[in-house]
Structure formats: structure tokens, C-alpha cells
A and B are shown apart, each in its own frame.
Chain A
Amino acid sequence: MTNALIRLPRSVKRGEAFEIKTLIQHPMETGFRAGTNGTTIPRDIIEEFLCTYNGVEIFRMKLSSAIAANPYISFHTVATESGTLFFRWTGDNGFKVEETARIAVA
């Protein structure tokens, strides 16, 4: 099982911006490195990260070979209503991790 860490405030005031931080375990193998036997190590990266807030897309990011292993992504959004944040990382070799987190808006 891939480890992913997500942090956001438990509750936020309506209309206020808050920060969402994510960290995921992934080698982000570039596809440009040579292995011990001289052959190229195949690319194995996360290609896309997506976040929705009560079903509405609020953040999407394309990742590339230039991004280090175990990508840390943080971004802000504005609190609209209580509900669920959904996170999805997808990439090479059928990589797919999905997580959810609750947010309470007062």
C-alpha cells in the first residue's frame, strides 16, 4: 500500500482561504537514468494530481520527470461549505491512489 499524507485544518470559516498539504510515496523514476547493466531504467512517474471539493475540481497538476521522489504538493482554496475533499494521484504502470478528507465550514 502506498503511503499518502494529507493535512488541512479541521474547520474553517466560510469564505476564508485555507492550505491543503499532500505528500505521497513514489520513486518518480525519470526514465533517463541508466541501470547497472547499461540499459535505461523505464520511466515510472506520477503524471497527474487532482483535487475536488464536494465534487468540484479545485486543483489539477501535471507532473513530469523533473519532479523529485515523494512529491509534496501544497495549495490553497476558499472554504465554501462543509464536505469532502477528494485527492487522486495517477501515473505510469497503472499507478492510482485515492484519498478523501473531511472539512467542516462554520
Chain B
Amino acid sequence: MNRRLGALLLLMATQASAEIPEAERRSGYHDMGASVQAMQDDDMANPAMLWVLDGEKLWAQRQGAAGRSCADCHGEPSRMTGVAVRYPAFSESASRPISLDQRINQCRTEQQKAPAFDYESRELLSLSALVAMQSREHKIAPPDDPRLRTFLEAGAATFNRRQGQLNLSCAQCHEDNRGKRLAGATIPQAHPTGYPIYRLEWQSLGSLQRRLRNCLIGMRAEPYAYGAPDYVALELYLMKRAAGMPFEAPGVRP
């Protein structure tokens, strides 16, 4: 085989696996303007803190038929340190991985005996922001759990599969064209380091699944229903792809 062809095949092979090496992983934070970075850097300017305040109130409220608060069982929110960076995680009762939002709702329904919060509701976002914030500066550390393997593979396949009317894959934008411009925005590497985020475009806090929904609509693909196993598998893969990166939730994004 001639050397040029060999090099080309090697290039294609690396493109197919296409995972960004740890040293080159870069948070979307670095792709945004200085003024948005300043909002994230200062808790007084970061509107997500308004949700965290609600989260603190909810944490302490006795709710549901069990009449227990999160605090009654878990103590201070700081006891959640290091939790968000290892979600999604495998749930015995669901027999599949669940997101942090779903884990919180599991405690709502099973422990508090209260109705689950709706996805993207102020309550669920507030609690997940509070829990996520406890892991700031911690490295993303997906669980090394063999039960997750097939789900992880499914997430990776979704990430690399062309879909939608534009026939694009996530990888084409976020790996092959990362750092380039798309209609005024720099294409980030798509790391889930800051979720839930306060997005200026939303004028609100939103989950990673809401962000993924935006990208799917942009590709003219059909978004999944919130909480769908497909989203959780994608989240799982995104966390693995971002392993070792410092967590920065709740982040701010344009």
C-alpha cells in the first residue's frame, strides 16, 4: 500500500472514531464572548443563581405523602458534591441509565411519595442546578460500569449517525468542524460541562436535553420526548467524551 493512501486511510479511521483527545478538550465557555464569560464567572451576574435560590428552598421543604425534605435524608446540599459529574448512571429499578433529573424525580416519587416534577419545570431545574453546582471544578467522571456499555455505544452511534432533512451528524459539526463559524456562532466541541445552563437565547435555565433538542431541530431531525432513553444515551456518551473536563454548572451560554 502506498504511503499516501495509508495516511488517508488512517485519517479516515481517526475521523470515524473521532473522539477528541483529552488534552484538546475545550469547554464551550472558551468559544463565547468576554461579556458572556463574565456573566458565568460572577455568581452575582449569573441569572442561574436565581434558580439555585429556589433549589435551596425546595431542598428544605417537606413534601409528598412521606412528609420528608431532601435535607431530611441528605443533609446539606454540599453532601451532593461529586454526584452530578457521574450522571447519567445505571438505575437498578429502571434497568437502564437515568439522568440526574430522573434521579431527582426518583427520590420525589419513591422517597417523598410526591408526583414527579415535569421536565424543564422551574422546580426540577432549580434542584438540578443546586445539585450540579456542588460539583463545580470537579472533573467529569462517568461511572465505569459494564452495565452502561450498550447504552454508551447507542449514544455514540446516534452522535455519529447522519440524520434529519439536512442529513448531518452531530460529529460533522462538533468534531470535524469544531472551532469554525456557523451563522455567527463558533461551533463548540459540544461538551456538557455546564448543565443546566442559563441560555441568553432562552432567557431561562434549561437542561442538556433542551440544548440537544435545539441542535436536533437545527438539523431538521425529530427531537425525542424529554426523558427519552435516546437522550439519556446521548448524554451518557457526551459525558464520556468529556471525561476529565472540569464541571462548571450552572453555566451561561449565548
Contacts and interface: CB of A to CB of B under 8 A. Distances in A.
Interface of A: 3, 5, 7, 21, 23-25, 27-28, 68-70, 72, 74
B54 A21 contact: no
Interface of B: 39, 42, 44-45, 47, 49-50, 53-54, 200, 203-204
Contact of B54 (A3, A68, A70): A3
Contacts of B54: 3
Contact of A21 (B45, B47, B53, B203): B45
A21 B42 CA distance: 11
A101 B200 CA distance: 29
B45 A69 contact: no
A10 to B, nearest CB: 15
10 contacts: A3-B50, A3-B54, A5-B53, A21-B44, A23-B47, A23-B49, A23-B50, A25-B47, A69-B203, A72-B44
A24 B49 CA distance: 10
- For A5, A27, A68, which residue has the most chain B Cβ atoms within 10 angstroms? A5
Nearest to A68: B203
- For B45, B47, B54, which residue has the most chain A Cβ atoms within 10 angstroms? B47
Contact of B47 (A7, A69, A74): A69
Nearest to B205: A70
A5 B49 contact: yes
Nearest to A72: B45
Contacts of B203: 27-28, 68-70
Given A5-B53, A72-B45, 6 more contacts: A3-B50, A5-B44, A5-B50, A21-B45, A23-B44, A69-B204
Given A5-B53, A70-B50, A23 B204 contact: no
A21 B44 CA distance: 7
Nearest to B200: A68
Contacts of B53: 3, 5
Contacts of A25: 47, 50
Nearest to B57: A1
A25 B42 CA distance: 16
Contacts of B50: 3, 5, 23-25, 70
A82 B196 CA distance: 40
A89 B34 CA distance: 28
A69 B50 CA distance: 12
Contacts of A70: 47, 50, 203
Nearest to A7: B44
A72 B200 CA distance: 13
- For A3, A7, A68, A74, which residue has the most chain B Cβ atoms within 10 angstroms? A3
Contacts of B204: 69
